[in-house]
C-alpha cells in the first residue's frame, strides 16, 4: 500500500481475518507508536486540566479567575485551528506532531517551575494555557492526516474508533484521576509536573515513527492551496448555510456548547467543593465518571446500526442527555454528581458518533474536509464565550440556577430544531442503510 512503511504490513491475509476488526490497526508498527504517543498526550492533557483548576483555587482565584484561564486555552485553540489544518496539509505531519509536543513540554515545564517556586500567578496560567491551546489546534489535523499514510483504508474506521475511546478514558478519566491523587497528596504543582512528564512520554514514540516518502510532488498542490484556501472555505460555508439538516444540527450544537461547556469546565469544581464538601479527589471522581460515560456511550452507539431516525435520535440524545446537568447543581452528594456526569458524557458522546457518521455519509466527498473544519471552528467559537460567561453568571445567579438552566434549555432547543427544519421528514426522505 502506498504510504505504509516497510515492515508494518502483516505476513499474510490469515492474520488479518483472525484478528477482531477493532484491533487490526495494531498489526502496524508505526500505528502502534502513533497511538501510544496519542494516549500519553491525552493522558497528560487530562492531568494538566485538573491540575490548573486546583492551582487557580490554591492561588485564591474563584469562578471568574478560572473562567479567564479556561477561556484563554479555548481562545488559543480557536485562533489557531484553521492554521493547524493548513499546516497539516503543507508540512510533514510527523514534524508537526513533534513540534506540538515540544511546545507542550516547554509550556508545562514553565508552569511547573513557577508553581513550585511560588512565583506563579493566575495570569501566568492564562498565558501558558493559551500556548497549550494553540498547540492543540495543530495536533489532531496532523494526526488525522497522518493515519492514512500508516494504515490501509479498510482499517481507518477501527483506528478512529480507538481514538474516540481513548480520548474520554485517558483525558477525562485516567488523567484527572492521577492529578486528583497528586494534588490531594501534595500540591497542584505536582500535577503540573506529572503533565510535563506525560508530554515528554508522548514525544518519544513520534521520534521512532518511519514515514515513507510521498509518491508524488506536493509543490503544485501547495501552490493551489495558497491560491484557493479562502475560496474553498467560502464554498464550504455556503454549502453549510443552504443545507437544512446540516445548518439546523450545527445551530443546535452551537447553542448546546454555549449552555453546557462553561458550567462543566468552570462551575463544576466549585459545585463539588461548595455543595458536596469535596476536594480534588471528589472532583476527579466526577470527571472520571464523565469520561467513562463518554467512552461507553461511543462504544454503545458505534456497535449498533445507524438509527432510522438518525437526526431525531442525535438531537434527542444531546437535548434530553443534558437534563442530568440539573442534578449537578442541586445535589449535595458526590455519587449523584458522578452518576449525572456519566449520563451527560454517555449521551453526548453517542450523539457525536452519529454526527460524525452523518457528515461522512451525507456531505459530498469533495466538501467533507471543509465542512468538517468549519464544524470544528464554529463549534469552538462559543467555547471561550461559554467559559468566560460561566463564572460571572454563576456568581450573579448562583451555581444551582446556572446548572438547572443549562440542563433544561437543550431539550427545548432540540425539539425546536426538529420541528422548525422538519428533520423528521428529512431523515425519512434520505435513508441511510448500514
The CATH number that applies at residue 326 is 1.20.1250.20
Of the candidates 153, 187, 162, the residue with the CA atom closest to the CA atom of residue 23: 162
Residues 191 and 333 in one domain: no
Per-residue pLDDT of the chain (434 residues; tens, 9 = 90+): 334 444 445 544 445 556 766 677 899 999 999 999 999 999 999 999 999 999 999 998 888 888 889 889 988 988 887 777 677 777 788 998 999 999 999 999 999 999 999 999 999 999 999 999 999 888 877 787 777 778 775 665 567 667 777 887 888 788 988 999 998 888 899 999 999 999 999 999 999 998 765 554 444 554 554 546 666 667 777 888 999 999 999 999 989 999 999 999 889 999 999 888 888 888 889 988 988 898 888 778 777 777 889 899 999 999 999 999 999 999 989 999 999 999 999 999 888 877 877 776 787 755 655 666 677 777 777 877 888 899 899 989 999 999 999 999 999 999 999 999 999 898 888 887 64
> Domain range spanning residue 424?
228-434
Same domain membership, residue 283 and residue 410:
yes
Is residue 190 within 8 A of residue 108, CB to CB? The reply is no
Q: Which of 210, 244, 273 is the last residue of a domain?
A: 210
The x, y and z cell numbers of residue 413, run together, are 432547543
Is residue 324 located within the same domain as residue 420?
yes
Q: Which helix (H) or strand (E) holds 108?
A: helix 93-116
How many Cβ atoms from other residues are within 10 Å of residue 54's Cβ?
A: 24
- For residue 13, being part of any structural domain is answered with no
Does 194 lie in the same domain as 281? no
Q: Is residue 75 part of a domain?
A: yes
Q: Are residues 305 and 190 in the same domain?
A: no
**Domain boundary residue among 210, 240, 272?**
210
Determine, yes or no, domain membership for 7. no
> Of 210, 239, 267, which residue is a domain's last?
210
The answer to whether residues 256 and 206 belong to one domain is no
Please check whether residue 158 is in contact with residue 116, taking contact to mean a CB–CB distance below 8 angstroms.
no
- Tell me, yes or no, whether 17 lies in a domain: no
Backbone angles phi, psi at 419, to 5 degrees: -75, -45
Q: Tell me, yes or no, whether 109 lies in a domain.
A: yes
Grid coordinates in use for 32? 502502534
Of residues 34, 360, 264, the one with CA closest to residue 166: 34
Let me know whether 129 and 48 are in one domain. yes
Same-domain status, 95 and 164 = yes
Rounded CA-CA distance 98/37 in Å is 10
Amino acid at each position: 500500500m502506498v504510504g505504509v512503511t516497510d515492515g508494518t504490513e502483516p505476513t499474510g491475509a490469515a492474520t488479518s481475518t483472525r484478528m477482531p476488526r477493532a484491533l487490526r490497526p495494531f498489526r502496524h508498527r508505526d500505528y502502534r507508536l502513533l497511538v501510544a504517543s496519542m494516549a500519553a498526550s491525552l493522558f497528560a492533557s487530562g492531568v494538566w486540566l485538573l491540575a490548573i483548576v486546583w492551582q487557580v483555587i490554591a492561588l485564591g482565584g474563584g469562578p471568574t479567575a478560572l473562567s479567564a484561564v479556561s477561556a484563554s486555552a479555548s481562545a488559543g485553540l480557536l485562533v489557531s485551528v484553521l492554521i493547524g489544518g493548513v499546516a497539516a496539509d503543507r508540512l510533514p505531519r510527523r514534524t508537526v506532531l513533534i513540534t506540538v509536543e515540544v511546545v507542550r513540554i516547554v509550556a508545562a515545564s514553565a508552569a511547573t517551575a513557577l508553581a513550585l517556586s511560588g512565583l506563579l500567578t493566575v495570569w501566568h496560567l492564562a498565558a501558558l494555557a493559551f500556548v497549550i491551546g494553540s498547540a492543540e489546534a495543530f495536533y489532531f489535523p496532523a494526526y488525522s492526516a497522518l493515519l492514512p499514510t500508516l494504515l490501509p483504508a479498510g482499517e481507518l474506521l477501527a483506528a478512529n474508533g480507538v481514538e474516540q475511546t481513548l480520548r474520554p478514558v485517558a483525558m477525562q478519566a485516567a488523567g484527572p484521576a492521577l492529578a486528583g491523587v497528586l494534588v490531594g497528596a501534595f500540591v497542584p504543582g505536582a500535577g503540573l509536573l506529572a503533565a510535563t512528564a506525560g508530554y515528554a512520554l508522548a514525544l518519544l514514540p513520534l521520534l521512532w515513527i518511519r514515514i515513507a516518502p510521498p509518491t508524488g510532488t506536493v509543490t503544485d498542490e501547495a501552490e493551489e492551496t495558497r491560491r484557493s484556501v479562502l475560496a474553498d472555505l467560502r464554498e464550504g460555508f455556503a454549502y453549510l448555510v443552504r443545507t437544512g439538516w446540516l445548518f439546523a444540527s450545527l445551530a443546535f450544537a452551537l447553542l448546546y456548547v454555549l449552555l453546557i461547556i462553561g458550567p462543566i469546565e468552570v462551575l463544576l469544581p466549585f459545585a463539588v467543593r461548595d455543595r458536596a464538601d469535596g476536594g480534588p479527589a471528589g472532583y476527579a471522581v466526577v470527571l472520571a465518571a464523565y469520561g467513562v460515560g463518554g467512552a461507553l456511550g461511543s462504544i454503545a452507539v458505534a456497535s449498533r446500526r445507524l438509527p432510522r431516525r438518525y437526526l431525531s435520535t442525535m438531537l434527542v440524545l444531546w437535548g434530553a442527555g443534558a437534563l442530568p446537568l440539573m442534578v449537578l447543581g442541586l445535589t449535595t452528594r458526590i455519587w449523584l454528581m458522578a452518576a449525572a456526569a456519566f449520563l451527560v458524557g454517555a449521551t453526548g458522546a453517542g450523539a457525536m458518533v452519529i454526527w460524525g457518521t452523518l457528515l461522512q455519509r451525507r456531505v459530498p466527498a469533495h466538501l467533507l474536509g471543509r465542512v468538517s473544519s468549519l464544524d470544528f471552528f464554529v463549534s469552538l467559537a462559543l467555547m471561550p464565550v461559554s467559559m468566560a460567561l460561566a463564572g460571572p453568571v454563576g456568581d450573579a445567579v448562583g451555581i444551582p440556577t446556572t446548572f438547572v438552566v443549562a440542563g433544561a434549555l437543550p431539550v427545548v432547543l432540540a425539539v425546536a430544531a426538529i420541528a422548525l427544519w422538519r428533520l423528521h421528514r428529512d431523515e425519512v426522505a434520505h435513508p441511510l442503510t448500514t
